[in-house]
Structure 1
Amino acid sequence: MKSFLTHQQIASLVKAIQSAEEHSTGEIRVHIDSNTETRDAETAFEVFKRLCMNNTADRNAVLFHVNFERKYLTIIGDIGIHEKVRQSYWDQLHDYITGEFAKGNYYKALESAILKTGLELKKHFPVTGENPNQLSNEITFS
């Protein structure tokens, strides 16, 4: 199996998630899937639910579900953030990420997408008081 991200890059992505969530009540997760044989969003939705991403207070969690081997990416924004940014935002972000993936820029694409998403979350869900981390920032794998 080809390695698409180094351990250092994975650790840096966790820091990018922490930074992106700092000024927002939103939550961001990255899941790297190397087991799924199909290229459909159903698997990503299962991961979204398994990671309890649909349980945030403002329903503003975002999942980047990536399968590098299958060249597949699904971005899921829960209903709270999706209502604010609409499908066109996710489509543009998806196009950017997959364009960078095609150039082999896996880390750059994910880091940039995480930070861009953080800006949108900050715009629509700014911190107004305490800001507990509702979900782990770790990168998950299957």
Structure 2
Amino acid sequence: MPQNPFSPDEQQRIVEAIRQAEKATSGEIRVHVEAHCSKADPVQRAIDVFAQLGMHETKDQNGVLFYLAHADRKFAIIGDKGIDAKVPVDFWESTKDLLRSHFKQGAYAKGLSLGIERAGQQLKHYFPYTSDDINELSDDISFD
């Protein structure tokens, strides 16, 4: 199975969703995709990827990672301490439900784009964009 399950158009749609979400916030959103999850629990793998991508180094600890192991049909969404402490208790779980409903239909790009938009709304609420904001992390999808 290919490392990149997305067509060029789908990939562009996901990157554009990240850019749109980050326009209104100092938060950072990343998407990481691989065929297989090397851990039994995708959350544990997402924590490893979060560290590998340097996401814990954002100024306000407000990075959000969407992790997808497409061949294994596993995924996770994790937020750094800053955003995790502020979002509603059920936020990550309800966002996972949104993604899951699209993933079941094979609509990975749509699910990710909608989840990214939803995370961006929360980031905008708790970490609004400031004029001195810099894009601390790449908007491109990373692949393993």
**Matched residue of 1:36: which SS?**
coil
Paired residue for 2:112?
Answer: 110
Paired residue for 2:76?
Answer: 74
Paired residue for 2:17?
Answer: 16
CA distance in 2, matches of 1:15, 1:115: 10
Task: Give the drift of 1:93.
Answer: 0.3
Paired residue for 1:141?
Answer: 143
- CA RMSD in angstroms, aligned pairs only: 1.4
Aligned residues: 142
Judge conservation of contact 1:39–1:72 (CA < 8 Å) in 2: no
CA distance in 2, matches of 1:9, 1:39: 28
Match of 1:84 among 77, 83, 86: 86
Matches within 5 A, 1:22-101: 22-40=23-41, 41-101=43-103
Same amino acid, percent of matched pairs? 36
Q: Unaligned regions of 5+ residues in structure 2, if any?
A: none
TM-score (norm 1): 0.94
CA distance in 2, matches of 1:130, 1:33: 34
More helix by share: 1
Task: Give the drift of 1:37.
Answer: 4.1
Q: Unaligned regions of 5+ residues in structure 1, if any?
A: none
TM-score (norm 2): 0.92
CA distance in 1, matches of 2:53, 2:38: 20
**Matched residue of 2:86: which SS?**
helix
- 108-117 or 32-41: bigger deviation: 32-41
Judge conservation of contact 1:32–1:141 (CA < 8 Å) in 2: yes
Q: Deviations over 1:37-73 (max 9, x none)?
A: 4331221111100100001000000000001111111
- Following superposition, which runs of at least 4 residues in structure 1 exceed 4 angstroms of deviation? none
